[in-house]
Structure formats: structure tokens, C-alpha cells
Amino acid sequence: MHWPAFALFACVVLLLLAGFPVAFTLGGTALLFALGGALAGVFDVSFLGTMPNRLFGIMSNETLVAVPLFVFMGVTLERARIAEDLLDALGRLFGGLRGGLGIAVIVVGMLLAASTGIVGATVITMGLLALPTMLKRGYDPAVATGVISASGTLGQIIPPSIVLVLLGDVLSSAYQQAQLAQGVFAPRTVSVGDLFMGALLPGLMLVTLYAAWMIAVAVFRPASVPGVREGGQAEAAAPGFAELLRSLAPPLALIAAVLGSIIGGVATPTEAAGVGAVGAMALAALRRKLGWARIREIARATARVSSMVFLILVGASLFSLVFRGYGGDDIVREFLMSLPGGVFGAVLLVMLVMFLLGFVLDFIEITFVVVPIVGPVLLSMGLDPVWLGVMIAINLQTSFLTPPFGFALFYLRGVAPPEVPTTAMYRGVAPFIAIQLLALALLALWPGIATWLPAALYG
């Protein structure tokens, strides 16, 4: 009687596509299937007896405390308007060069990703600040929207990322399950810090490839990325060293404090998130952007996002419990292990399914629903958990860029001027999608890009 597991998964996906709330869809559908199965005598209700322990595990999970702290840090920096000063200074520094403004957008996107870790906020902020300037300077709308969308999604992969925090927690549990299933009763662990360090080099590799593409466009299609003079604009004075330092120092200091404390082993990711939250408040206070009204606004936004994440986590825990009660994990394991091509075939299929699900589901749903099902199976095949986590993060980042359903395109469409056609946005992201696929291929060929740094730091 394995068909109820398929029916449960299909119903959840259909209800999510219909727009029902994620957390209640996951939990409510699972409870209905459990009740129906119990009445039909095909579901053991004792499975539900472990739900209180799961809820207590969520409540006492110190790793997940990092989520509201990183969200608080990101919202605070967004409200402090750090991005405006960064983009203005770097835009004037590089703006005289062909493609220089595009490179400035990539650098600012990287710094915002490492400061906030929230994709939607980064894309919207960059769209509001950079897109009008780029269009006014004569940039091709496709190039401008493409580089903004791609730079905004760097928050998926460059730590500290909310995606990596949640993915690291789920993969840690999946890794332990995989080892216990193999008879290893003293399992090794993988931490969020491992995943942070594993994602750092691939994230910087993506930034380098993005910048290389902008340089190539400047060389071969110079009219689409004019400098200041070619765009018919008066050249703004380049920022002095003091002004440049004043714009760059705050986010760089915060990134150094958060990532430096993790790399140096001084703090766990959760403790580093606390450092980041306090540091973001200090930066906002220095910029006189931290009145009581703003603190209430930041706290309310943080509570809204954090409660959404944890409600989804509770619903996903109930869903995975009922799914396993129907033997769904056994079906997935048998199916993946029977695929032609062995490990390669299994990874390829899982990545393809996640890519397609990324069109319609947010990364939180995919992390909490799909990864717990396929993660233990893939890790039991001998895959490195850090490598797998980085591959999933970049894969979802690619999905969020891909037309016609990419979330980054929806975010940018909401703030782009009406005269910028949606088709131009689709053309603009195409080269960056190719870059993302190239990065996935490089990671598949050389897993050390993701595994070398955490192994060197933590053994």
C-alpha cells in the first residue's frame, strides 16, 4: 500500500500551486491522509506519537536560532539604506568604463548577499536603485535586468545565507540518518558552519564569472553597456578614498565580523548571527536610522518572516512523518538506487526535480519537504554532504533565475519601469543561467571547489 505516499505528495504540490498557505497545507493534508489511512487500516497512528518530540526538537534546536537573527540583520541593513551609498560610490568609481556600472552592481549584490542573505530584498533593492540609473545611462534593458536579477540571487549561495542555515540543519539530520542506516552508530556530523565555508569559494567563483561576462559584453557589444560619456551623461566625480572607505567599510566590517568569527572558530553560526544582528543595529544607529519607530518596524518584519519559516518547518515535520508512515522513504530509496547510471543518475534526477519544483515552490518548502526525503538516500550512496548542499543551493539559485517562473524575475518585474518588456528580462538572464549551469558542471567535475575549504579549516 505505497500509493497513499504518492497521493499525499501529489495533493500537497497541487494545493501549493493553487495558492493555499504552505504551513497549513503541509500539516493539514498530512493529518487528513493519516486519519483516512487509520480508518482504512493502512496507517499506524503510533507514528503521530513522535510529533511532540519533533516539535520539542525544533524548539530546542540552537542552529535554528540563527534564522531570526540573520533575518533581523538583513532587515536592519535594508532599512539603514547601506546599499544606496555602496551603489553610488562604486557606480561613480567604475561608471566611466564600459560595463563598469554592471560590475558595480555585481559587487554590491555580492556585498548585500553576504550582509543580508535575503534574495527578495536584494533583488528589489537593486532594482529600485540601479535599474533606473543603468537605463538612463544607455544600458540595454536586457543586460541591465539580467545582471540585477543574477546579482540579487547571490544571497542564495554566499554566506551567511538563510538558505544555507536551513539546508545545513536538514542535511545534518539526513547525514546522521544515512550513517545509521549503514550501521554506523557513532555518526559524523556536518554543521551549518561547514556549509558556509563550502559555499564561499563557489559563491566567489560565480561572482568572478558574472564579472567576466560583463567584461566580455563590454568588449564585443560595447553599445549595450556604454560608459558615462558614451551614454551622453555628464561624468560624476569619482569618489575620494575617504568617501569610498566610508561606503565600503560598514558592510565589509560586518561581513568580517560574522564570517571571520565562524572561520576563526571563535563563534558558531548562531553566535555569529547574534554578532551580525548587533552589528547591523550599530551601523543603523551610526547612520541615524534607528529610531523607536524603525526598531518596531524591523522587529515586526523579522517576526513575520521568522514565524513563517518555523510554521512551515512544523508543517513539513508532520508531512514527512506521515509520508514515512506510508513507506514513502522506502519507495524513494528503491527508485533512486535502481536508476541507470548509479549515483550520477540519482543526483541528476534529484537536481532536475528540484530545479522544476523551484519554479513553483519557495526554497523553504523545497528544503523542508524534498531534502529530508532524498537527502538520506543520496548521502547513503557516499556523497559528501557539504558538496550536496552547495549543489542544491546553486541549483535552486538557477531555478529562481529561469523564465518564465523564476522568483527573481517576479521580484524585479514588480519594481521595473513599464517600458522594460518582460521578454527583455528573459533575454537578459539567459547568459547568467548558462553561467550557473557551468558552475554546477564545474562543481560536479571538481567537488573540491566546495569541500576543500571546510576540510582545510575544520578537518
- CA–CA distance, 44 with 50 (Å, rounded to integer): 12
- CA–CA distance, 315 with 58 (Å, rounded to integer): 12
For 420, residues 6+ apart whose C-beta sits below 8 A from its C-beta are 131, 135, 141, 145
Nearest to 71 by CA among 109, 116, 125: 116
- CA–CA distance, 308 with 412 (Å, rounded to integer): 23
Nearest to 447 by CA among 338, 347, 337, 339: 347
- CA–CA distance, 233 with 238 (Å, rounded to integer): 14
Which pLDDT score is estimated for 438?
94
Whole-number Cα distances in Å, 449 to 171, 197, 376, 432, 442: 19, 11, 23, 20, 8
| Tens digits of residue pLDDT in 28-87 | 898 999 898 888 888 888 878 888 887 887 787 777 788 888 888 878 877 777 767 777
Which pLDDT score is estimated for 115?
64
Residue 229 belongs to some domain of the structure? yes
Residue 39 belongs to some domain of the structure? no
Give residue for cell 567599510. 249
Which pLDDT score is estimated for 153?
85
Nearest to 157 by CA among 449, 455, 456: 449
Which pLDDT score is estimated for 78?
74
Residue 110 belongs to some domain of the structure? yes
Query: In the numeric block, which cell numbers belong to residue 320?
Result: 514527512
Residue 107 belongs to some domain of the structure? yes
Residue 120 belongs to some domain of the structure? yes
Three-state SS letters, the chain: CCHHHHHHHHHHHHHHHCCCCHHHHHHHHHHHHHHHHHHHCCCCHHHHHHHHHHHHHHHCCCHHHHHHHHHHHHHHHHHCCHHHHHHHHHHHHHCCCCCHHHHHHHHHHHHHHHHHCCHHHHHHHHHHHHHHHHHHCCCCHHHHHHHHHHHHHHHHCCCCCHHHHHHHHHHHHHHHHHHHHCCCCCCCCCCHHHHHHHHHHHHHHHHHHHHHHHHHHHHHCHHHCCCCCCCCCCCCCCCCHHHHHHHHHHHHHHHHHHHHHHHCCCCCHHHHHHHHHHHHHHHHHHCCCCCHHHHHHHHHHHHHHHHHHHHHHHHHHHHHHHHHHCCHHHHHHHHHHCCCCHHHHHHHHHHHHHHHHCCCCCHHHHHHHHHHHHHHHHHHCCCCHHHHHHHHHHHHHHHHHCCCCCHHHHHHHHHCCCCCCHHHHHHHHHHHHHHHHHHHHHHHHCCHHHHHHHHHHHC
User: What are the backbone angles phi and psi of residue 158, rounded to the nearest 5°?
Assistant: -85, 120
Number of domains in the chain: 1
Nearest to 274 by CA among 254, 247, 288: 254
Residue 395 belongs to some domain of the structure? no
Which pLDDT score is estimated for 238?
63
- CA–CA distance, 115 with 365 (Å, rounded to integer): 23
- CA–CA distance, 5 with 26 (Å, rounded to integer): 13
- CA–CA distance, 37 with 31 (Å, rounded to integer): 10
- CA–CA distance, 233 with 94 (Å, rounded to integer): 14
Residue 384 belongs to some domain of the structure? no
Residue 221 belongs to some domain of the structure? yes
Domain residues for the domain of 410 are 61-290+406-458
Whole-number Cα distances in Å, 140 to 40, 240, 270, 440: 62, 29, 42, 28
Which pLDDT score is estimated for 88?
74
For 236, residues 6+ apart whose C-beta sits below 8 A from its C-beta are 92, 95, 228
Q: Which residues of the chain have pLDDT under 50?
A: 230-234
Which pLDDT score is estimated for 444?
92
Query: What radius of gyration do the chain's Cα atoms show?
Result: 23
- CA–CA distance, 33 with 121 (Å, rounded to integer): 37
